Amino acid sequence: MLPRVADSLSFLYLDMVRVVQDDTGVCAQIQVSEGRTDLVYVPTASLSCLLLGPGVSITTRALATLARHGTSVVCTGAGGVRAYAGILSDSLTTHWLEQQVHAWADPDRRLDTAVRMYEMRFNDDEVPQNISLAQLRGMEGQRMKALYRYLAQQHGIGRFRRNYHPDQWEEQDPVNLALSAANTCLYGIVHAALLALGCSPALGFVHAGTQHAFVYDVADLYKADTTLPIAFSLHQSPNPEQDARRKFREDLRLFRLLPRIVEDIQTLLTPTEGDSEERSERQDVDMVHLWDPKAGALPAGVNYAGEGD
């Protein structure tokens, strides 16, 4: 069963709790005061992905129950940012991974997906018909320059230039430091969503050559609305990195980013002629099947030897 965007319980973030299994189900124990603990039960049967913050401890029995119910568990940083590790359930299908691989391996579909990823950053009336990928890259570059100028003028900043030099980290200006820190948080959220869907973070369509290529592809769709305004607003911050992470975390509820990421990934990996209403719905597929070049999928657990064999 795959995450359904329409389901408000597709993702649940927990922090500063102990997750255990009791006689009723999986629950989060919250220490309220000395000697007093509150319990909040986790709806594992209707939950697709559980994000565990750094203040969480979880028992083996609770993990086993989550696995039986098909819930993916992702260990993240505070606020659901910076995905560190993912524990995927055996019941998580490979549907979206297969869609991703098919689109990535076919040069025509890969180009179509890359073009659609660029087009998602513009309004419908801004992209001419039959435009090439190189032209789209140029349009995106101009869009980002215009956005930099607008945000710089809005906050009374002089000319801004994006710089990312890890070897000269402390010498960068506050906006660049804040932007790098906020982008790292965004990458963590996208990574968590990809793990929950069962996609490969390495198979990108615009980026290539890194284990996080698809993470960068998807994250670029949201930077103009999320990390860039935050970074420019912190141009006078004495600690821009820390402030960027905190502000980004505080704005996550406003952004409602995880459901949006899942829907966009499913839309991108679905052939353009597909039914858009099916993209965000759960899809019941055979968990294990045999691949056949002509038939596509054959039932597993069947002896295909002929009668004379």
Q: Is the pLDDT of residue 265 over 90?
A: yes
In this predicted model, what pLDDT tens digit does every residue of 35-74 receive, in sequence order?
788 999 999 888 878 889 999 999 999 999 998 887 888 8
pLDDT at 138: 93
| Residue among 221, 223, 192, 217 nearest 202 (CA) | 217
| Residue among 8, 10, 58 nearest 197 (CA) | 10
Please give the Cα distance from 177 to 171 (Å, whole number). Answer: 9
Q: Is the pLDDT of residue 29 over 70?
A: yes
pLDDT at 30: 93
Please give the Cα distance from 101 to 92 (Å, whole number). Answer: 17
pLDDT at 109: 95
Is 185:206 a contact under the CB 8 Å cutoff? no
Q: Please indicate, yes or no, if residue 108 is contained in any of the structural domains.
A: yes
Whole-model pTM: value is: 0.77
- Say yes or no: 81 and 121 in one domain: no
| Residue among 234, 239, 252 nearest 77 (CA) | 252
Q: Count Cβ atoms below 10 Å from residue 8 Cβ, excluding itself.
A: 10
Q: Is the pLDDT of residue 240 over 90?
A: yes
Q: What total of structural domains would you count in the chain?
A: 2
pLDDT at 183: 92
Q: Please indicate, yes or no, if residue 239 is contained in any of the structural domains.
A: yes
Please give the Cα distance from 80 to 14 (Å, whole number). Answer: 9
Burial of 130 (0-12, 13-18, 19+ CB in 10 A): exposed
| Residue among 185, 182, 192 nearest 265 (CA) | 192
**pLDDT bucket at 151, cuts 50 / 70 / 90:** very high
Is 111:103 a contact under the CB 8 Å cutoff? no
- Say yes or no: 61 and 40 in one domain: yes
pLDDT at 307: 58
| Residue among 209, 212, 186, 183 nearest 200 (CA) | 212
**pLDDT bucket at 114, cuts 50 / 70 / 90:** very high
pLDDT at 5: 39
**pLDDT bucket at 9, cuts 50 / 70 / 90:** low
Q: Which long-range contacts (CB under 8 A, 24 or more apart) does 138-145 make?
A: 143/224, 144/224
Pick 288 or 294 by higher pLDDT: 294
Q: Is the pLDDT of residue 278 over 60?
A: no
Q: Which domain holds residue 23?
A: 11-87
Is 45:9 a contact under the CB 8 Å cutoff? no
- Mean pLDDT over 99-122 rounds to 94
Collapsing DSSP to helix, strand or coil, 104 comes out as helix
pLDDT at 62: 96
- Say yes or no: 62 and 118 in one domain: no
- Mean pLDDT over 130-148 rounds to 92
- Say yes or no: 106 and 193 in one domain: yes
Give the pair of three-digit tokens for residue 290.
């045999």
**What is the rounded radius of gyration, in angstroms, for the C-alpha atoms of the chain?**
22
CATH number at residue 220: 1.20.120.920
Last residue of a domain, one of 87, 117, 145: 87
Name residue 134's amino acid: A
- Say yes or no: 107 and 199 in one domain: yes
- Say yes or no: 33 and 179 in one domain: no
Contacts of 65 (CB under 8 A, 6+ apart): 21, 25, 26, 44
CA angle 26, 48, 274 (to 5 degrees): 165
Task: Please name the residue that has the structure tokens 């659609």.
Answer: 116
**pLDDT bucket at 301, cuts 50 / 70 / 90:** low
Last residue of a domain, one of 28, 54, 87: 87
H or E stretch covering 110: helix 107-119
Please give the Cα distance from 198 to 214 (Å, whole number). Answer: 13
CA angle 120, 125, 129 (to 5 degrees): 85
Give the pair of three-digit tokens for residue 111.
């180009």
pLDDT at 286: 45
Please give the Cα distance from 117 to 62 (Å, whole number). Answer: 38
CATH number at residue 18: 3.100.10.20
pLDDT at 236: 95
pLDDT at 21: 97
Least confident piece of the model among 47-51, 180-184, 225-229, 242-246: 47-51
Give the pair of three-digit tokens for residue 260.
């949006």
**pLDDT bucket at 224, cuts 50 / 70 / 90:** very high
Last residue of a domain, one of 87, 118, 146: 87
In this predicted model, what pLDDT tens digit does every residue of 164-198 receive, in sequence order?
777 777 778 999 999 998 998 899 888 888 888 88
Name residue 157's amino acid: I
pLDDT at 281: 41
- Say yes or no: 215 and 126 in one domain: yes
pLDDT at 144: 94
